[in-house]
Structure 1
Amino acid sequence: MVSSQVCHLAILLFFMIVNLWNLKHCSMMNFLVYFIGYIQIYVHISGGVLPIRRS
């Protein structure tokens, strides 16, 4: 379980780093959309383990 979450977190960080590296080619709005999307995907994959999820 833990190794799976670490793997997903590594993938999340990888995409975030790629977007940061390509930020000069993208708009800040695009980056924010991707950033929020990755956070939602990670929360979904982790099964809501993160305390961020609250409705």
Structure 2
Amino acid sequence: MVPLLVVLLLALILFGAGFALKALWWIAVIVLVIWLVGFLARSTGPSGKRGRWYRW
């Protein structure tokens, strides 16, 4: 009985980790797309040069 519970617990942990990693991949892709759009759509400054679109 104990080995069966251990296997079921391990399967549940691995399923949860797999779902979390897939969600993190989607979040990373969304952040990358937002960064690329911001990088490509940045406005020009008064001197005609393109300024930084971020505030760091």
- Tell me the TM-score normalized by structure 2: 0.46
Between structure 1 and structure 2, the one with the greater Rg is: 2
Higher percent of residues as helix? 1
- Tell me the TM-score normalized by structure 1: 0.47
Larger RCO (alpha carbons 8 Å, 6+ apart): 1
